[in-house]
Amino acid sequence: MTQKRILLIISGGIAAYKSLELIRELRRRDIACRCIVTKGGQEFVTPLSVSALSGDKVYTELFNLSDEAEMGHIELSRSADLVVACPATADLMAKAAGGLANDLASTTLLATDKPVLMVPAMNVRMWQHPATMRNIETLRADGVTVMEPDEGAMACGEFGPGRLPEIPAIVAEIERMLAGENAGALSGTHALVTAGPTREPLDPVRFLSNHSSGKQGYAIAEALARLGAQVTLVSGPVSLPAPRGVNLVPVETARQMLKACEDALPTDVFVSVAAVADWRPARAATKKLKIKGAGSEHPSMELTENPDILKTLANKRKNRPSLVIGFAAETHDVEEHAVAKLKRKNCDWIVANDVSGDVMGGTENEIALISRDGSERWPRMGKDEVARRLALKIAETVGDEGDGLKLAAE
């Protein structure tokens, strides 16, 4: 799987500063950005800041001898998988709709043979002007994808549609377009994903839990949905918004999570990412536990095992998911423990990850994908890219096996 590349055109408008955040988010997902900054765009962001974040040269002029010698505007327009104009001003969209080519950005848009995404941002009156509406209609008829702007307060003080969409929404649309032919690869597939920690109450105000942020599970659920899967996400308590196009089922305890998973069956794919608490108090106190004072004995508590959700679903005689994928979060001997877990739990795959660093709260992961056929190491990358690759791997398995997943464990 080669790295995806976009050509990002940053045009003039106050929303141009948000393009820096967009570049950072795309880089986190292992999507490379090469950028064009228009003359107007340079009034809001500098080529130096764009270059520092993108890690690539920034292009600004059509008639630049060294740029034309090194790349050339024709090659620049075709060097990426997708061309994105963000923000797309009324002026840039008017040029593109009319086929004008009097600067590097408009020439690139006219010369490209790649898909184009326009992300508009402008004053509400400009957005609603009949000329802008005609231009958008023309662009869409020409095959350009034009996102709808958000509605809200403007920098100019007015209120209405015209705000740049939120960065997560833009990233999701870019990833959808980059998926291309894979966009419907999991259509007709039901995927069940668990994410986050569980909380096991000690008393009405305290609980046993762990540091899981839920980021990896949420990213996997969203990546599967982008490939067309119907996704049920059973999540412990996290501070993350529900992924788009995903049925979110919030739970607290391990027993609640198991019930929610069993209620979601039958399912084709089960990805067990949640960091489920292994133990819970045998009897949770009905009143807050109190410290009795200095010199008193430390309170004791009897613990009992929680249900093993992964093992339970992997060993079902009826409605066993065709593909069962577990996660093994380890601090040492990662692959050895993962291989043992694969056999012990009767999984088809295990995603082994080293959590000795900041993985459980961080944005990156380094994993090994373990199956009965061996292991496959992936380099350290953002959790969103791990999710994308895993979703594609699942889609490849579905496609290779045709109708249904016929795996060795069945």
- Confirm whether residue 103 is marked as ligand binding: no
Parallel, antiparallel, or unpaired: how do β-strands 116-120 and 145-146 relate?
parallel
- Confirm whether residue 307 is marked as ligand binding: yes
For the sheet containing 82-88, what is the strand order?
58-59, 31-37, 4-10, 82-88, 116-120, 145-146
- Confirm whether residue 318 is marked as ligand binding: no
- Confirm whether residue 309 is marked as ligand binding: yes
Query: Which residue is catalytic, options 33, 35, 86, 156?
Result: 156
Q: Is 377 helix (H, G, I), strand (E, B) or coil?
A: strand
- Confirm whether residue 345 is marked as ligand binding: yes
Q: Is the Cβ–Cβ distance between 236 and 210 less than 8 Å? A: no
Question: Which residue shows structure tokens 């990850």?
Answer: 353
Residue 349 tokens, joined: 């795959």
Nearest-10 crossing angle of helices 215-226, 383-401: 40
- Confirm whether residue 288 is marked as ligand binding: yes
Rounded Cα gap, residues 284 and 15, in angstroms: 52
Q: Is the Cβ–Cβ distance between 143 and 149 less than 8 Å? A: no
Q: Is 89 helix (H, G, I), strand (E, B) or coil?
A: coil
Rounded Cα gap, residues 50 and 35, in angstroms: 8
Q: Would residue 33 show up in a list of annotated catalytic residues for this protein?
A: no
At a CB cut-off of 8 Å and minimum separation 6, what does 160 contact?
A: 124, 127, 128, 151, 154
At a CB cut-off of 8 Å and minimum separation 6, what does 31 contact?
A: 3, 4, 5, 6, 174, 175, 178
Output DSSP code: residue 197.
B
Alpha helices (H) in 227-253, listed in sequence order: none
Q: Which residues are annotated as a binding site?
A: 278, 288, 307-310, 327, 341, 345
Q: Which residues are annotated as a binding site for CTP?
A: 278, 288, 307-310, 327, 341, 345
Catalytic annotation, residues: 156
